Amino acid sequence: MCGIVGYNGKNKAIDILLDGLSKLEYRGYDSAGVAVQEKDIKIYKAKGKIINLEEKLKNKKLNGTCGIGHTRWATHGEPSETNAHPHVSNDQSVTLVHNGIIENYQELIKKLQKHGYIFYSQTDTEVLANLIDYYYKKYKNGPSDAINRTMVRVRGSYAIAVMFKNHPDEIWVARKDSPMIIGKGKDGVYLASDVPAILKYTNNVYYIDNLESACLKKDEIIFYDLNGDTIEKELKVIDWDITSAEKEGYEHFMIKEIHEQPEVIKKTISSYINDGSIDFTKCNLTKDILKNVEQIYIVACGSAYHVGVCASYVIEDLARVPVRVDVASEFRYKNPLLKENDLVIIISQSGETADSLAALREAKNRGIKTLAIVNVVGSSIAREADYVLYTLAGPEIAVATTKAFSTQLIVSYLLAIELACAKKQIDKEVYSDLLKEMQSLPEKVNNILNDDLKGIQKIASELSSAQDAFYIGRGLDYAISLEGSLKLKEISYIHSEAYAAGELKHGTISLIEDNTLVIGVVTQEAVYEKTLSNLTEVKARGGYILTISPDNIDVSKVSNYKISIPKTNKFFYPSLTVIPLQLLGYYIAVSRGVDVDKPRNLAKSVTVE
């Protein structure tokens, strides 16, 4: 949720810190702050946007080359300058920024108060600064020992960056269950909670694991385990183009990322199809493993959950393997009935989603095979899962996911087809036809973006005053309606719900009145007539009907407005219908004057439960 950035090297730290924090704005925040090593550690904080912090710093001459910065999302304590990070120990000998939540902070406050510590903020983070200071002074064994003792003592999740008054030109870091990467560049070393913050400066990074710490010097990084022993880490290369994290002339990251979908879909498909066959050998996911799978659990949050719902329809139909889709925040608390030959699939763009990571660990603790579908190489979920299928979406900056969602769909299709082949549920001809049709999807997505853009903009401007919207469909159309509804509500703030069309008469239709917006997704030939009947009922009660369908399905009698999409295999329609649904949400939000890339109260990566 929050963002951390740090630098120690040859250049002015403040410029790098502010630039890095601006790259993390998409994570969601309500205040920002920096600490820079001069003769003493100088701290500046501001409530609100980073521009407020920049205003405070306008006439300050900060030439220090070592510093840390933070954007805060309030959890403990209201958004305020006092509660903003960095926080300091009582005598200001320890300065710290923190992502995560310390669950036993009240217990720790009582312990530290007995030793004379006082607290000026409402945060759990200030406890960490004073606890590290306490162990540092009590045992006199240096920063590594103080941090390790703190890690053992606290419960919760954290990624911390610490500066010690008595150890200038060093930044100490540690983590447990909150993301952090460390970069090595020609002009110094960097740290951040997400790749885009430092991608401008280096793509060579280390991933620090749970209950590990590190010391970042100007040209050296030393890693430690919980015993204080030094350990070796492997340097990884981030294969992301820096321009992917820039707007490149687009008004918002979201619309840029919508237009990147043909390219990233093609790239993801190409990475897994070799000589006309699906190839998962890079992740050691063989047909022998797949053929023994008896049941699948798909666990995810938000849009990734909607991918799971789509995947469940395709997998069950194609491979005849039962699939259960669970919201990650509920999965481990329901004591799921997992069996030896089950497969738990975790879907996450960031690979750091707290609830999804907890679900993964629950499955692994029970000895169940796990498969991750993630976008970020080296993320926690990717490292901990038994098998990993990467979505090659590149960095996604907008809070509302678009291209990551589309590449997750593609990987789900590929998995379904390979599973069906391993289970001998499809023959070679069907297998080949499915792959051929899938490879046509990038061009068809591109056609929608080229042909329908102006029409969707027009209808969006007409519908921007809507107060409520209902999305309906059956089967895969219902599954993708969930995502369309989420896109609208999260960025335009219009109340929106998605329903299986057959459920309308079980209560929802009572909400339909004159000009109520109803979006009908109608692509599945086996059930389209039933969906049209439902839409007819809605229209009879005054609803305004927008339909999304291929031209071979006649919706003219019920539609006030129709968006046409190309024809494809029934399993792949979600990849096409989602494009106008994304555009509709985007242009309605723009018409309403909303900050599309940073919708209120939302963050890109939810890294706390």
Cite the active site residues. 2, 604
Degrees, nearest 5: CA angle 189-195-198: 40
Cross-strand pairs, 378:
none
Q: Under 8 Å CB-to-CB from 85, ≥6 apart: which residues?
A: 2, 31, 33, 45, 70, 72, 96, 97, 98, 125
CA–CA separation, 484 vs 476, rounded Å? 12
- What CA–CA distance (Å, rounded) separates 423 from 421? 5
Q: What is the largest CA-CA distance in the chain?
A: 80
Peptide bond into 143 cis (omega under 30): no
The two three-digit tokens of residue 19, written as one number = 């630039």
Cβ-Cβ contacts under 8 Å for 283 (sequence gap 6 or more)? 387, 388, 389
CA distance 290 to 422: 6
Decide if 177 contacts 159 (C-beta within 8 A). no
DSSP character at residue 490: H
Instruction: Count CB neighbours of 121 within 10 A.
Output: 18
Q: Which helix (H) or strand (E) holds 455?
A: helix 453-463
Nearest to 17 by CA among 28, 3, 31, 29: 3
Question: By the 8 A CB rule, do 178 and 157 touch?
Answer: yes
Nearby residues of 137 by Cβ (< 8 Å), 6 or more positions away: none
Residue 400 exposure: Cα atoms within 13 Å on the Cβ side: 33
